[in-house]
Structure 1
Amino acid sequence: MFSLSAFSQKTDKKLIWEEDFSGETLNEKVWNFELGDGCPNICGWGNNERQLYTKNNHELKDGMLVITAKKEDTLYTSTRITTLGKKEFMYGYIEARAKLPVGQGIWPAFWMLGSNIAEKGWPLCGEIDILEYVGKEPHKVFTSLHTQDSHGETINTKKTTFENIEEGFHTYAIDWTKEKIAFYVDDRLVYTFQPEEKTEAVYPFNQPFYFIINMAIGGNFGGPAVDDTIFPQTYMVDYVRVYQ
């Protein structure tokens, strides 16, 4: 069902930044590549994930970012990009339009981390998971927040069923203010986090955050089992937009 509130959140605000992936190559004045398996600092990217991140598992095609997860011999590869230190935002209506990969073991995401992560560490920096999808649970979208007060198996989360979410493109968004974060899928409100207490441990969201786009394979959430017959799988992102 179309939500007038989601529509008004966008139309009441001004588009202040957009990444439409229209170039021939990724703009490295905006995006960083995170490479490897996370070792030695955070092996398996903190989640026992199987993939090695490279610069070679993505392309810009027809105005879209296309991340391709592959299995070659015993090696799983994918791509992970961030805007840390380059494009960081505090508050606004933030939206991405994307088409999901499918299959057991796939774990695509569009999410944000607090820009003070080097100083504060995770989870005190805060994490906003605007979109997470795991192939082992088809037709479901996960929207979550991780904080010092609730992280790992977070209670600040919602799993919403969309029977056609694997078909075509869909929009995933948050409306983020000093008081609350509301999550939308296809302009439908699916979850709101608005705690009364606003301590750093409960609501570390009154500070700048940066974007992460990636497709993980396996891991604590996406796996542990991985169906090797599904590869290659593509995760396509049409745009990222920030309204304030």
Structure 2
Amino acid sequence: MSIKFLASALAIAASTVSTVSAEGAPGYSGFNTVWAETFDGSAGTSVNGNNWNIITNLHVNNEVQTYTSSTNNLQLSGGATVQIVPRKDSSGAWTSARIESKYSFTPPAGAQTMAEAKLRFGDNAIANKQGIWPAFWLLGSSVNNGVAWPACGELDVMETVNGILTGHGTAHCDVYPGGVCNEPNGLGATVGIPDQSWHNWRIVWDRRANTWTGETITWYMDGAQFQQISGASINNQNVWNSLAASSVYFILNVAVGGDWPGPPNANTQDGYGSMMEVAYVAHYLST
């Protein structure tokens, strides 16, 4: 585990594919850093197995990729980042990677909880990213204890599809289809992304209200709010608790194809230009 309470400038090795971010997870006034992963390690090696489960043998949403543990798809940059790289082989088959944190947390009552990551996308042209689907999200830990999706709760901090510079922040909950969260669409909002370079994506649970209806979950890009739900808007305490008062864990992945983006096409390019690169993932709690 890599825990850093203040951001610091680090000397880094040159990346073989691009300039990488070398900052640790930043500190914030009024918050303690509870857990952070800053992806330190040698270039070309895999993520810390004490912190992450590397997911394979998972096929959902009619996606076309196969998730692997290969460092061709998942590697540390050597500059304190991780790169999730979709690849297409000579037969046209796609591979990529998905990692899920072994660390989990429950936002406590009476406090603010923040979860965030800093990430960027590869520099392939948007026209060459049909079917590419990177995401930073949190899933309710109860899914591993027999609670089906979406009743387990899911909070997508950032998703984008087909290279389009639009970030989607979405809550999934209750039942499928329909239900409180209008599944399978979820309760979502969007934000324009200025470019494919580094941006900070954050979600904040504010459970300081006197009643559950006054609690909120708010999404931010680069510190600017673009989505919010509340106990009052959900209007069901059990469903709200699945989103705001239950254990969650981090997921980072790049899918290829699927129901939402549609399949890749002849123009879709693989490799570093279609990757998602992550500088850190962190969990904070108000003091």
**Which category describes the TM-score, using the shorter chain as reference length?**
0.7 to 0.9
Matches within 5 A, 1:198-237: 198-205=236-243, 206-232=245-271, 233-237=274-278
Structure 1 residue 226: deviation in Å? Answer: 3.5
Amino acid at match of 1:184: Y
What corresponds to 1:125 in structure 2?
152
Aligned to 1:3: none
SS in 2 for 1:120: coil
- The runs of 4+ residues in structure 1 deviating greater than 2 Å are 197-203, 224-229
Residues 198 and 227 (structure 1), Cα distance of their counterparts in 2 relative to 1, 3 Å cut:
farther
Whichever residue aligns with residue 87 of structure 1, its letter is Y
Mapped partners of 2:41, 2:264: distance in 1: 36
Q: Secondary structure at the match of 2:259?
A: helix
- Unpaired runs of 5+ residues, structure 2, are 1-26, 108-112, 175-179, 208-214
Secondary structure at the aligned position of 2:85 is classed as: strand
TM-score, normalised on structure 2?
0.74
Pick aligned residue for 2:104 from 73, 85, 88: 88
Residue of structure 1 equivalent to 2:55: 34
Q: 2: CA distance between counterparts of 1:202 and 1:176? A: 11
For 1:11, the equivalent position in structure 2 comes to: 29
- Aligned partners of 1:201, 1:176: CA distance in 2, in Å? 15
- Alignment-mate amino acid for residue 165 of structure 1: D
TM, length-normalised to structure 1 = 0.86
RMSD of the TM alignment (CA)? 1.7
Name the CA distance, whole Å, in 1 between partners of 2:268 and 2:143.
37
Residue-by-residue CA offset, 1:188-233 (whole Å, 9 max, x unaligned): 1111111312422344121110111000001011223434541122
Paired position in structure 1 for 2:191: 160
- Residue from 226, 239, 242 that aligns with 2:280: 239
- Specify whether residues 23 and 187 from structure 1 end up closer, same or farther in structure 2 by C-alpha distance, changes over 3 A only: same
Q: Deviations over 1:1-60 (max 9, x none)?
A: xxxxxxxx9421111111000123311111001103x2xxxxx31x10000000111110
Distance 1:227 1:143, change over 3 A: farther
Distance, in Å, in 1 between the alignment partners of 2:229 and 2:251 is 21
Take 1:80 and 1:198, find their aligned partners in 2: how far apart are those partners?
32
Higher normalized strand content (fraction of residues): 1
Structure 2 match to 1:185: 221
Deviation readout 1:151-170 (Å, 9 max, x if unpaired) = 2112x1001223x232x100
SS state of the match for residue 260, structure 2?
helix
Counterpart-to-counterpart distance in 1, 2:76 and 2:249: 21
Q: Looking at CA atoms only, which structure, 1 or 2, has the larger radius of gyration?
A: 2
* Alpha carbons 1:10, 1:93 under 8 Å: kept: no
Task: Count how many residue pairs are aligned between Structure 1 and Structure 2.
Answer: 223
| Aligned equivalent of 2:199, options 156, 170, 175 | 170
- C-alpha offsets along residues 81-105 of structure 1, whole Å, 9 cap, x if unaligned? 001xx20012211110001245111
Q: Is the 8 A contact 1:71 1:228 kept in 2?
A: no
1:195 aligns with 2:231: yes
5+ residue gaps, structure 1, are 1-8, 39-43
Taking only the aligned residue pairs, the percentage that are identical comes to 30
Of the two structures, which has the highest relative contact order with CA contacts closer than 8 Å and spacing of 6 or more?
A: 1
